[in-house]
Amino acid sequence: MSVALVNGRVLRDGVLVEGQCVLLNGARITAIVDAQDPRCRNAQHHDLGGGLLLPGFIDSQVNGGGGVLFNDAPGVEAIRAIGAAHRRFGTTGFLPTLISADLDVVARAIAAVRAAIQAGVPGVLGLHIEGPYLNVARKGVHDPAKLRELDASALGLLTSLREGRTLVTLAPEMTTPELIEKLVAAGVVVSAGHTNATYAEIEPALRHGLTGFTHLFNAMSQLTGREPGAVGAALSDPHSWCGIIVDGVHTDPVVLRIALKCKPHERFMLVTDAMPSVGTNNASFHLQGRRITVSGNVCVDEDGTLAGSNIDMASSVRNAMSMLGLPLSAAVRMASQWPAEFLGVGHELGRIAAGYRANLVLADEHLNVRETWIDGQSLRA
């Protein structure tokens, strides 16, 4: 029987509308009609209590959650636990993210994500492989012993998931434009991160298929008066997507507001870079043998280096509104439609529209999540 979501304010293509009924049948949205439409009256009603019905949030950079770090346990149950932790905060689609590791661990992570997708683990859309093809000069918290150049011998491994989406963050100067092009031709989404590249090194990578910049401003060559660097390349290219961590720490909100003036808003997407502390009260965890301390949204190692974040997607949307001055519609799109477009799944995720997968978030005025749906399956917060 069809389910009718009624008595809510529905965010449709950037506009909140009232008096409409969202009809679900199985995993899909079948129609959005007036509440008096016979199809709505004949369906099983689900009262939204006047709340905000939003497209489900999509997070392309999730290192962990619920006390689980993907690097420590790259298996199906770890992915399930991470997804469950983030679902409480509106994330209905995510990429488990592997921080630079040995290639046998990369292979295990790929196998785990493939198995998780085949098992129907809620929310998992693919895998983000962040490194090890990074520049040690911009390593951040990544283990320098794991870093290496990307050559043709790794192409088979990086293109082997064949289920869902594969996102690879690399430093363009650690490989060649031709190898980037081969990854893209095989269906991999390629993003620049932990890079010390000059503008002249980024530009050919963009021409050969690079489409993203991982946690803009962080762990990359900066924009200066005589060298635009990776940041300048990201902000001057109108077509690439920029992931931004809006926690007030990774990047000053003033800097992000300036960035938003440089290119269309639809080329920015919210990411959490979340660590295992999200969804817990844990004050610390370990990353590759180092103790990471958690305070508020901030995670740092013993040297004070940022190590991901302790922020969730609902908080990121709230911060985009309060820190960046964005309206609800724009902030939500940065958490749903634009990451869906970046990952190549915008034809079925990121919007509330007929034919789309029923991945939805019900929230109150303060963006506190009350209920989520993943492929039509409801879970109350």
CATH number at residue 17: 2.30.40.10
For residue range 354-379, list pLDDT tens digits in order: 999 999 999 999 999 999 999 999 99
Count of Cβ atoms closer than 10 Å to residue 279 Cβ: 22
Domain count, the chain: 2
Q: How far apart are CA 9 and CA 368, in angstroms?
A: 15
pLDDT computed for residue 52 by the predictor: 98
Answer whether residue 65 shows pLDDT above 90.
yes
Same-domain status, 190 and 128: yes
pLDDT computed for residue 109 by the predictor: 98
Same-domain status, 182 and 218: yes
* AA letter at 131: G
Answer whether residue 149 shows pLDDT above 90.
yes
Same-domain status, 307 and 358: no
User: Looking at the annotation, which residues are catalytic?
Assistant: 273
For residue range 167-211, list pLDDT tens digits in order: 999 999 999 999 999 999 999 999 999 999 999 999 999 999 999
Can you give the residue range of the structural domain that contains 368? 3-54+353-380
Q: How far apart are CA 212 and CA 169, in angstroms?
A: 8
Same-domain status, 178 and 280: yes
User: Tokens 């300036």 — which residue?
Assistant: 258
pLDDT computed for residue 239 by the predictor: 97
Mean pLDDT of 8-36: 95
Q: How far apart are CA 344 and CA 227, in angstroms?
A: 32
Same-domain status, 276 and 250: yes
Is residue 348 situated within a structural domain?
Answer: no
Answer whether residue 112 shows pLDDT above 90.
yes
Same-domain status, 181 and 319: yes
pLDDT computed for residue 381 by the predictor: 79
For residue range 70-89, list pLDDT tens digits in order: 999 999 999 999 999 999 99
Same-domain status, 24 and 79: no
Per-chain mean pLDDT for the chain:
97
Same-domain status, 50 and 64: no
Is residue 163 situated within a structural domain?
Answer: yes
pLDDT computed for residue 325 by the predictor: 98
Residue 155: Cβ-neighbour burial (10 angstroms; 0-12, 13-18, 19+): middle
Strand order in the sheet with 9-12: 15-17, 9-12, 52-55, 360-363, 369-374, 377-380
Is residue 288 situated within a structural domain?
Answer: yes
pLDDT computed for residue 305 by the predictor: 96
pLDDT computed for residue 68 by the predictor: 98
pLDDT computed for residue 66 by the predictor: 98
pLDDT computed for residue 1 by the predictor: 79
For residue range 223-278, list pLDDT tens digits in order: 999 999 999 999 999 999 999 999 999 999 999 999 999 999 999 999 999 999 99
Closest CA to 130 of 197, 8, 214, 37: 214
Mean pLDDT of 1-30: 95
Buried b (16+ CB within 10 A) or exposed e, 306-317: bbbbbbbbbbbb
Q: What percent of the chain has pLDDT over 90?
A: 98
Q: How far apart are CA 376 and CA 346, in angstroms?
A: 18
Long-range contacts of 19-26 (CB under 8 A, 24+ apart): 22/53, 22/352, 22/360, 24/358, 24/373, 24/376, 25/376, 26/358, 26/375, 26/376
Same-domain status, 11 and 155: no
Q: How far apart are CA 125 and CA 279, in angstroms?
A: 20
Answer whether residue 353 shows pLDDT above 90.
yes
Is residue 289 situated within a structural domain?
Answer: yes
Q: Please name the residues in contact with 25: beta carbons below 8 A apart, sequence gap of 6 or more.
A: 2, 3, 376
Same-domain status, 24 and 81: no
Same-domain status, 134 and 261: yes
pLDDT computed for residue 327 by the predictor: 97
Q: Please name the residues in contact with 252: beta carbons below 8 A apart, sequence gap of 6 or more.
A: none
Mean pLDDT of 38-42: 92
Paired strand residues for 96: 62
Same-domain status, 135 and 175: yes
C-alpha distance from residue 216 to each of 22, 213, 232, 234 (Å): 36, 6, 10, 8
Is residue 247 situated within a structural domain?
Answer: yes
How are beta strands 20-25 and 28-34 bridged, if at all? antiparallel
